[in-house]
Structure 1
Amino acid sequence: MEGHVEVIRIEPSRGWVSLQLKELWAYRELLYFLIWRDVKVRYKQTALGVGWAVIQPVTTMIVFSVFFGRLGKIPSDGIPYPIFAYAALVPWTFFAQGMGQASNSLVGSANLIKKVYFPRLSVPIASVTSGIIDFSIAFVILLGMMLYYGILPTLNVIWLPCLLVLTVVTSLGVSLWLSALNVQFRDVRHVLPFLIQLWFFATPVAYPSSLLSEPWRTLYSLNPMVGVVEGFRWALLGTETAPGPMLIVSSLTALALLVGGAFYFRRLEKTFADVI
């Protein structure tokens, strides 16, 4: 019929709703734009640019090597302490920065959210995945350190992409919870630094999980970053701590965080434009 105009009505959902992943895929070009925007904003008007991707883990590794490695005599599973710590700091930094930026991403994109409709899940997803560039730069430094110490990766390195996916899933899962809560309660941004700090010391970055005996070690891996950190060391440095049970428990926990966070995010999504 000529002159017929298709009308699409957008109405708020009620109760628990589906994730609508097809809609998220339909807006994938917007997701690419948001990722690129976050990358540019991160290094805009900075003197060192992408150098900050290396400075933070490297300086932390130096401090840890002096105080924990040399003075504290913390064991490092037979690996030189500097590379032992740095191999853990690379995924940890990606996780922590992704969680920190994604938790405030909705509030930071308030003008965009209030003006146009698009899948709100795109915003925290973009904030987390944009950190892969920083991760890649820091990872190149890690490979250089491995060459310096004469450490060659074993066949376990084939698991590295899976470990990176686990890191992304963990960071995104926590970020979905916190970003949705941050819209409702702005206290989240004040609690976040303490949460990251506590999570850091609850993760075997400066120390090995081998200090714990079973079954406490497996229970300890309910913190999904335990499996990530020990998995990275095992895959790249060939540590003797077999992370099999830890990886299983950490993966299940990370998956639960992601699924639960996604549904909770979608439940509150209808209120974002009004509250933010």
Structure 2
Amino acid sequence: MEKVETMQVPTVIIESNKRVLSFGLESLWKYRELLYFLAWRDLKARYAQTAIGLAWAVLQPLIMMVVYTLVFGRLANMPSDGLPYPLFAYAALVPWSYLAKSLDRSGFSVVAESNLITKVYFPRIVVPLSATLGGLLDFAIAFALLLILMAWFGITPTWGVLLVPVFMLLTVGTSLAVSLWLSALYVRYRDVGAAVPLITQLWMFASPVVYPSSLIPETWRTWYALINPMVGVIDGFRWALLGTHPPHIGMLLANVSTIFVVLLGATAYFNRVERTFADVI
């Protein structure tokens, strides 16, 4: 009798990431198509069956700008660093809206993908990362309107506009750092879902969105920036585009340090608990 040759099926052993401080760039590159698919699917689902589609990316911060102009600019007579208050507020709302929307989507992203997580292996960090990056198109559309408003008010950007990508990178880093914490905690503690809107609202009023950071006493500004990483980002956007006072170097360094530490801690915590997601979720 002829011998039947049997094919040896290779055995693939999947182990959890033992390096908790590793961001897994090699794995992210390997699963880049999944990252792109999840981000694109989130974008399509967000604007599916909407009457005005992507115009919501402009309408939301625009309405907030009008409300803040009436309440804080007209009634409260809030200072605006010598700028028209609508432009002053909208320049801060562009990065802030990106952050707020990212937290709203990314905080619940792991639980929302429970069907995928319990069936297929992939780096779990792809899920909150895709939700964070998915808002970049909204940011680009809102940013385009900011340029139109600058032209309307006769504001010419300075050479600092070249640093806008740097401040945007800090915004993405802040969004991802907080999103990693929220998404990992939400798997085990569903109270996070009720806390996120409150945290976002309080954070906004603790940031120089409707008021300039110059209102903060100078002796407190470094601590203010150290606690709130969005201070340097918002001041940086206004300076780079509208020519306001440049962000204080001490405040900016404090912001970068805070973002780095929070992102490092969030990555370590996410990598440590991701192995239990499929069991707990």
TM-score where L is the length of structure 2: 0.95
The corresponding residue for 1:266 is 271
Q: How is 1:13-32 mapped onto 2 (pairs within 5 angstroms)?
A: 16=20, 18-32=22-36
Match of 1:238 among 243, 251, 264: 243
- Asked whether the equivalents of residues 218 and 249 of structure 1 are also in contact (C-alpha less than 8 Å), the reply is yes
Kept in 1: contact 2:20–2:267 (CA 8 A): no
The counterpart of 2:261, out of the listed 256, 259, 267, is 256
- Aligned-pair CA distance for 1:119: 0.6
Does residue 59 (structure 1) correspond to residue 63 (structure 2)? The answer is: yes
Residue 209 of structure 2 corresponds to: 205
Q: How many percent of aligned residue pairs carry the same amino acid?
A: 54
Does the CA-based 8 Å contact 1:99-1:171 persist in structure 2?
yes
Aligned pairs for 1:39-54 (under 5 A) are: 39-54=43-58
| Equivalent in the alignment of 2:219 | 215
Q: Deviations over 1:13-35 (max 9, x none)?
A: 66947443211211111111111
- 2:115 alignment counterpart: 111
Equivalent position to 2:74, from 47, 70, 79: 70
Residue of structure 2 equivalent to 1:138: 142
- Tell me which amino acid in the other structure corresponds to 2:110: L
Provide the alpha-carbon RMSD of the alignment: 1.5
Output one character per residue of 1:150-179: Cα deviation in whole Å (capped at 9) or x when no partner. Answer: 000111111100000000000000000000
**TM-fit CA distance, 1:106:** 0.5
State whether residues 231 and 243 of structure 1, in contact with CA within 8 Å, keep that contact through their aligned partners in structure 2.
no
| Distance in 2 (alpha carbons) for counterparts of 1:76 and 1:17 | 41
SS at match of 1:191: helix
User: In structure 1, the residue corresponding to 2:82 is in which secondary structure?
Assistant: coil
Work out the number of aligned pairs and report it.
276
Normalised to the residue count of structure 1, the TM-score between the two structures is 0.96
Change (3 A) 1:155 1:112: same
Aligned counterpart for 1:96 among listed residues 95, 100, 105:
100
Which amino acid is 2:277 matched to?
Answer: F
Aligned partner of 1:176 in structure 2 is 180
1:86 partnered with 2:90: yes
Q: Runs of 5+ in structure 2 lacking a partner? A: none
2:41 aligned residue (32, 37, 40): 37
Partner Cα separation in structure 1 for residue 89 and residue 211 of structure 2 = 8
Q: Which amino acid aligns with 2:208?
A: P
Kept after mapping to 2: 8 A contact 1:58/1:86: yes
Moved over 3 A (4+): 11-19
> In the alignment, is the contact (CA less than 8 A) between 1:177 and 1:265 conserved in 2?
yes
Distance verdict in 2 for CA 1:84–1:115, change over 3 Å: same
Partner residue in 2 for 1:225: 230
Is the CA contact (8 Å cut-off) linking 1:84 and 1:233 kept in structure 2?
yes
Is 1:153 aligned to residue 176 of structure 2?
no
Instruction: Call closer, same or farther: CA 1:36–1:240 in 2, change over 3 Å.
Output: same
Is the 2:22–2:267 contact (alpha carbons within 8 Å) kept by the matching residues of 1?
no
| Residue-by-residue CA offset, 1:133-152 (whole Å, 9 max, x unaligned) | 00000001100000000000
CA distance in 2 between partners of 1:12 and 1:30 (Å): 19
Q: Which amino acid aligns with 1:91?
A: P
Q: Tell me the distance in 2 between the aligned counterparts of 1:159 and 1:227.
A: 13
